[in-house]
Amino acid sequence: MPSFLDLHTTSPADLRAMIDNARAMKEARAGLPRGTPDADQPLAGRMVALIFEKPSTRTRVSFDVGVRQMGGQTMVLSGKEMQLGHGETIADTARVLSRYVDLIMIRTFEEDTLKEMSDYASVPVINGLTNRTHPCQIMADIMTYEEHRGPIKGKKVVWAGDGNNVCASFLHAAGQFGFDFTFTGPQPLDPEEVWVKFAREKGSAVTIERDPFKAVEGADLIVTDTWVSMHDPESAKERRHNQLRPYQVTEELMKRANPGALFMHCLPAHRNDEVTSEVMDGPASVIFDEAENRLHAQKAVMRWCLGL
C-alpha cells in the first residue's frame, strides 16, 4: 500500500484521481452537518495515528474529522509525549505502531524522520509537513483553485516571499499538474534548486523574478506564507522581516495580476506581515476554502493510501 510522502514522488495520474475524488466526496456531503457519517464508511474498523512534533490547527482537525466522517477512529499523538521524544528510534516506533494502526500521518521536522517512518512501517505513512515540504496543503490548494477557476493546467502561479516547504510542494505541483510558477523573493530565500529543476524538467516554466510587481504580471494565482516557519530559529525573525517586507502581498500587488486572479495562504497568517488584512479579507482571497478543502483532499489521500 502506497505512502503519500510528496507530490513529486506520486504519479500525476494518481494526484489527479485524488483531486477528482476529493471534489466528488465534498459534493456528496454538501449541506450536511459536519458530523454526518459518509454513506459508504470506507474507513469502518480502521485506526489512524496522527503524530505531531510541531503545532497544528488545520492538519490536526481536518485529518481527525476526515477519518471520523469515513467511519474510522483516530488517536492524536504528540511527539513529545511519546517515547519517540525520549530516545526510542523512529524505526522501532514505526514497527510498533504498525501492529496497532492501519495508517500513520506524521508532522515532523527532518524529512529523514518521515522517510524512516515509512521505510520501517508496514502501513502507509502520510506527510503532514516537514521542514522541506507540505504536500497535503497543496492538494487542497489545487482543488480550491479548480473549484473557483477551472483547470490549473497552463495557468501562472506566483509565490511571493520565503521559498519554504509550502513553496517547495507548489513547485512539485507545477511539474505534476502542468502550470507555470514564478518565485519572487530575496535571493537568500530562493526555493531549493533541486525543486526548481524538477518542475522545469516536467515542462513547467519556472521563473525567479526579484521585482514583485513584474513577477505578478499575468498571474492567475498569488500565494504567500509566513516569513518565519516553525523550524526557523526565532533569531532569524528580524532579518527575515527586513528581507521580505518588499514582498508583502498588498491590494496594489493584486491589481497588477490578471483580472480574477485568486489569493491563497495555507494559514496560519501573520496579518499585515506577509499579506495585508485587506487582501486576506478581500474578494480575491480563497483562504478559508483552502482550509476547508484540507478535509476533503486528505480524505481522498487516505483512501488512496488504503486502496479504498
Of 8, 58, 132, 240, the residue at the interface with ligand CP (CB under 6 A) is 58
- Answer yes or no: 225 catalytic: yes
| Options 21, 229, 250, 258; binder of ligand NVA; rule CB under 6 A | 229
> Minimal CA–CA distance to 216: which of 174, 185, 175?
185
- Reported as half-sphere exposure (CB side, CA atoms, 13 A), residue 234 has a value of 0
Q: Which of residues 237-276 bind ligand CP (CB under 6 A)?
A: 266-268
**Of these residues, 8, 107, 132, 265, which one is catalytic?**
107
Q: Is residue 222 within a helix (H) or strand (E), and if so which, with residue range?
A: strand 221-224
> What number of helices (H) and strands (E) belong to the chain?
12, 9
**Residues annotated as binding site?**
56-59, 83, 107, 134-137, 165, 225, 229-230, 266-267, 294
The Cα angle at residue 80 between residues 78 and 85, in degrees rounded to 5: 125
Closest separation in Å from C-beta 292 to ligand CP? 12
Tell the smallest beta-carbon distance from residue 129 to ligand CP (Å).
6
User: In this structure, what are the phi and psi dihedrals at residue 118, rounded to the nearest 5 degrees?
Assistant: -75, -30
Q: Which residues contact 110 (CB under 8 A, 6 or more apart)?
A: 130, 131
Q: Long-range contacts: 208-215, Cβ < 8 Å, 24+?
A: 208/182, 208/183, 208/184, 209/182, 209/183, 209/184, 210/184, 210/185, 210/186, 211/184, 212/160, 212/184, 212/246, 212/247, 212/253, 213/253, 213/256, 215/158, 215/160, 215/182, 215/183, 215/184
Candidates 3-11, 16-24, 206-214, 222-230: pick the segment binding ligand NVA (CB under 6 A): 222-230
Give CA 270 to chain center in angstroms.
Answer: 18
Q: By rule CB under 6 A, what string of x and - marks binding of each residue 166-205 to ligand NVA? A: x---------------------------------------
Is 141 assigned a catalytic role? Answer: no
CA distance 82 to 74: 16
- Parallel, antiparallel or unpaired: strands 125-127 and 73-78: unpaired
Residue among 8, 46, 132, 134 flagged as catalytic: 134
C-alpha to C-alpha distance for 56 and 40, rounded to whole angstroms: 29
41 assigned to active site: no
Nearer to ligand NVA, 129 or 142 (CB): 129
95 is catalytic: no
Residues of the binding site for L-ornithine? 165, 225, 229-230
Please state the closest distance from residue 166 (CB atom) to ligand NVA, in A.
5
Q: Is 14 tagged catalytic?
A: no
Q: Which stretch binds ligand CP (CB under 6 A): 9-17, 54-62, 85-93, 238-246?
A: 54-62
Active site residue 172: no
The CA distance from 197 to 191, in Å, is 11
Task: Give min distance, CB of 276 to ligand CP, in A.
Answer: 19
Among 3, 98, 127, 137, binds ligand CP (CB under 6 A): 137
CA dihedral 211, 214, 220, 224 (to 10 degrees): 10
Compute the least distance from the CB of residue 144 to ligand CP, in Å.
12
Does 169 participate in binding ligand CP (rule CB under 6 A)?
Answer: no
The one catalytic residue in 176, 180, 220, 266 is: 266
Q: C-alpha grid cell for residue 18?
A: 485524488
**Residue numbers at the binding site for ligand CP (CB under 6 A):** 56-59, 129, 137, 266-268
Interface with ligand NVA (CB under 6 A): 129, 164-166, 225-226, 229-230, 266
Q: Which residues are catalytic?
A: 107, 134, 137, 225, 266, 294
